[in-house]
Amino acid sequence: MIENFKRVSLGHFPTPVEHLKSISKHLGGPQIYIKRDDCTGLATGGNKTRKLEYILADVLDKKSDLVVTVGAIQSNHARQTAAACAKLGLKCLIILEHRLKKAPEIYETSGNVFLNKVFGAEVVLCPKDQVVEDYAEKIIQERISKGANPYFIPVGGSNHLGELGYIECMREIIENQNQDSFSHIILATGSGGTHAGLVAGKTIFQSDIKIIGISINHNKLHQEERVYQLALNSLKYVNHHPPLRDDVVVEDEYVGPGYAEPSEGMKEAFSMMATREGILLDPVYSGKAFDGLIGLIKSNFFKSTDKVLFLHTGGSAAIPAFEWAFE
Ligand SMILES: Cc1ncc(COP(=O)(O)O)c(C=O)c1O
């Protein structure tokens, strides 16, 4: 039935799964695999490609001529939205908000900020004293008064449409695993749609795989409730019974000093993945999520017979803006 929802093709699917042989041996715990959603093919890849395939189908349906979205300064969602709009010939307006306490100028000009412009998007900075959604609403009203037909995508593309992309990803994971199945999926959880889509998929396909979100911002209770509500909403949208509350699990010990603020654990995880597997993580999401996986292994959370899938959600396009974080 998920096939019944409209979707535009933006990425390369299914994404590959690789065995992290060197890291699995180094950590001495369960075998670790990585699903390369950082290789979705759209504008250096990332988790937003799957979400945007469903959201932009709705944009085309509504005959909107201007896509508006919001995010942190180094938002990967913004960059992927800009690229998807370029591909579909749509105008794109991105409103970015400051979230770091202190950051060098390069953080505001390079990485995703630079790429948004490369993809032809209009980029506006939200004044520091305003809430980004309120500011976006003001701009949308202005554009409507000038005759535009804008379409607003919420932060991270996390809504019932975006989550269809991760219901589909869950199906892909279940269908593509060979012989023995994965025991756990570990991923970064932020605006929550990726995590919620996987939980909704687990519910629909009656999978035993345990899903653990590593929070990159909020505390456990806040994030679990947010993901649960999103999963509930997407399952309602596809006419399915609700998820189990216990299927939504978040670990919140790996946020470090705050959202996008570098942590020692993130730096170690980033370096381990680069030097042992030749794979780039990112400092804000996948780096902290992989730090979470390392922490769980070190605390003997897994059995040695477990088979763990780390979902790489992308973000490496932000690395040039974070060079200072590794100094
Ligand atoms: C690279 C990367 N990973 C993970 C996430 C978190 O995904 P979600 O917002 O769906 O929780 C994001 C969100 O922006 C992201 O850019």
| Residue 146 pLDDT exceeds 70 | yes
Pull the structure tokens for residue 251: 């670990």
Q: Are 209 and 116 contained in the same domain?
A: no
Number of domains into which the chain is organized: 2
Flag whether the pTM goes above 0.95. Answer: yes
Convert the pLDDT of each residue in 16-70 to its tens digit: 999 999 999 999 999 999 999 999 999 999 999 999 999 999 999 999 999 999 9
Q: Are 185 and 263 contained in the same domain?
A: yes
CB atoms within 10 A of CB 224: 22
pLDDT score at 2: 82
Q: Are 205 and 319 contained in the same domain?
A: yes
pLDDT score at 170: 97
Residue 91, class by beta-carbon neighbours within 10 Å (0-12 exposed, 13-18 middle, 19+ buried)?
middle
The reply to whether omega before 14 is within 30° of 0 (cis) is yes
Convert the pLDDT of each residue in 260-319 to its tens digit: 999 999 999 999 999 999 999 999 999 999 999 999 999 999 999 999 999 999 999 999
From 116, 136, 157, the end of a domain falls on 157
From 157, 190, 205, the end of a domain falls on 157
Q: Are 299 and 184 contained in the same domain?
A: yes
Strand segments (E) across the chain: 17-19, 31-36, 66-72, 91-97, 122-125, 150-153, 184-189, 210-215, 249-251, 307-312
Q: Are 187 and 64 contained in the same domain?
A: no
**CATH code, domain carrying 180:** 3.40.50.1100
Q: For ligand 1, is residue 165 a contact (CB within 6 Å)? A: no
Q: For ligand 1, is residue 156 a contact (CB within 6 Å)? A: yes
Q: For ligand 1, is residue 197 a contact (CB within 6 Å)? A: no
Convert the pLDDT of each residue in 65-80 to its tens digit: 999 999 999 999 999 9
| Residue 119 pLDDT exceeds 90 | yes
Ligand 1 atom nearest the C-alpha of 313 is 3
Are the C-beta atoms of 88 and 56 separated by less than 8 Å?
A: yes
Whole-angstrom Cα distance, residue 197 to residue 105?
35
From 157, 183, 216, the end of a domain falls on 157
Q: Which of 169, 285, 286, 311 to mutate to test the pocket of ligand 1 (most atoms within 8 A of CB)?
A: 285
Convert the pLDDT of each residue in 230-253 to its tens digit: 999 999 999 999 999 999 999 999
Q: Are 180 and 193 contained in the same domain?
A: yes
Q: How confident is the model at residue 3 (pLDDT cuts 50, 70, 90)?
A: confident
Q: Are 198 and 253 contained in the same domain?
A: yes
Q: Are 75 and 139 contained in the same domain?
A: yes
- Single-letter amino acid, residue 173: I
Ligand 1 centre distance from Cα of residue 324 (Å)? 22
Q: How confident is the model at residue 108 (pLDDT cuts 50, 70, 90)?
A: very high
Catalytic residue among 75, 110, 215, 263: 75
Convert the pLDDT of each residue in 178-228 to its tens digit: 766 999 999 999 999 999 999 999 999 999 999 999 999 999 999 999 999
Catalytic, 263? Answer: no
The parent domain of residue 144 ranges over 48-157
Q: For ligand 1, is residue 76 a contact (CB within 6 Å)? A: yes
Whole-angstrom Cα distance, residue 105 to residue 67?
27
Q: Which of 189, 313, 322 to mutate to test the pocket of ligand 1 (most atoms within 8 A of CB)?
A: 313
Report the nearest-CA residue for atom 3 of ligand 1: 313
